[in-house]
Copies of this chain bind each other. A is one copy, B any other.
Amino acid sequence: MAEDVLAAVRTAPGRTEVRSFAMPEVPDDGALLKVEVAGICGTDVKMYGKPPFDAPVIMGHENVGTIAHAGPAFTRRHGVAEGDRVFVEHYVGCFHCEWCHAGEYRHCENTDWRTNPDARRYGYTSADNPYHLWGGFAQYMYLPWNAVLHAVPDGVSAELAGLVTPLSNGIEWALVAAGVGYDSTVLVQGPGQQGLSQVVACKQAGASTIIVAGTTRDAARLQLAKDLGADHVVDVTVEDPLTVVRDVTRGKGVDVVLDCTAGAGTAPVLLGVDALTRREGVMVVQGELAAFPDFPLKKITEKAITIKSARGHSYRSCELALAQLASARFPLDRLATHSFGLDQVDHAIRAVGGEVEEDVVHVSLLPWAGVR
């Protein structure tokens, strides 16, 4: 394997260069993934604009590909063979803490880049570190012994498998965190890839009423929400969402509110508290505000509301997401609206950020496309 590997490297805030890396030597218990698809999400937009550290980084943390070259211990221990298609979690487990022993790699402190500079989380790791290929915006990605893999079922394309991250988040937040299930009524705020994934998760879980709120710019996404099973959509630019919630629920309010806006403003939280049922509702928040200025705590306790934090996915949620994709029960392929090649990473991220394309839902980066 003498070839070189092309990768898009973030070299500065909002700047990307395609660089060439030597193909790494794979140890007995490591492997290389031939990247087919790297999904892009809102976090990428933030990290691209404001990198958390200065080192060059190959971004891309929602990665699907095939096992290209693997040491014999790697294949044996991971139960995979060369050529297998896998989804790779961006979390890399330490496998000896309490969280890793529960499949909750997202909570592993030993492999969190914020607390451990040696961590190797995909898309968040300096390309100067050994093996270099620590992100999906590259033709190959390095898989150490402790990469967390999920076999992609037959019949699920790489592009579809690129939806595992938002869909597993949907399952984790709606089902596990908020307890959406049989006959639940739900308000989803924000019809992006995350909100639309919640619609699917809630629908499959048995929710009887799903309301999705967006703006006029979201017209196509709101239509897609309906096609995926939302019972009602509301354009908050022209309608009062609280009125819609009350009308639809005959004054009761919803059992669950899922905030899938960026989490940057106070309005979704304030609306959510009002939209919830009079007692014992659940709201899942994505808080980006270090100091929320007028948090309605009194109202929250009077309504006996539970607040849960939107925070990634577990191993099990990824498995459920893959099973959902394999079932083809929902037209989830329609979420995959845009794809770009390795030389278009900058454009692709800006597309997710809403700057340069229309009606974006999910953007796939295809590292083998666009390479001259």
Contact = CB atoms under 8 A, between A and B. Distances in A.
Nearest to A305: B309
A74 to B, nearest CB: 11
A301 B292 contact: no
Contact of A306 (B300, B301, B308, B327): B308
A124 interface: no
B103 A102 contact: yes
A96 B149 contact: yes
Contacts of A102: 102-103, 315-316
B294 A293 contact: yes
Contacts of A182: 171, 175, 181, 201, 204-205, 320
A14 B311 CA distance: 48
Contacts of A149: 96
Given A94-B79, A294-B293, A320 B183 contact: yes
Interface stretch (A47-55, A215-223, A278-286): A278-286
Contacts of A307: 300, 306-307
A303 B106 CA distance: 11
Interface in A187-223: 201, 204-206, 208
Contacts of A309: 300-306
Contacts of A319: 98
Contacts of A305: 309
A309 B278 CA distance: 13
A110 B76 CA distance: 11
Contacts of A99: 279
A353 interface: no
A305 B278 CA distance: 23
A290 B298 contact: yes
A101 B98 contact: no
Given A98-B316, A285-B301, A319-B98, A79 B110 contact: yes
Contact of A206 (B110, B206, B291): B206
Given A77-B96, A94-B79, A304 B107 contact: yes
Q: This chain: how many copies in the complex?
A: 4
B295 A295 contact: yes
Interface in A330-346: none
A301 B287 contact: yes
Interface in A88-118: 94-99, 101-103, 107, 109-110
A311 B304 contact: yes
A11 interface: no
A292 B289 contact: no
Given A263-B301, A293-B293, 14 more contacts: A29-B29, A79-B94, A79-B96, A95-B95, A175-B181, A182-B320, A183-B204, A286-B301, A288-B297, A288-B298, A290-B297, A291-B293, A302-B309, A304-B309
22 contacts: A77-B96, A102-B315, A102-B316, A171-B182, A181-B182, A181-B206, A183-B324, A204-B206, A208-B327, A263-B301, A269-B297, A285-B297, A285-B301, A288-B298, A289-B297, A290-B296, A292-B295, A295-B297, A300-B307, A300-B309, A304-B309, A306-B306
Interface of A: 29, 77-79, 94-99, 101-103, 107, 109-110, 145-146, 149, 171, 175, 181-183, 201, 204-206, 208, 263, 269, 278-280, 285-311, 315-316, 319-320, 323-324, 327
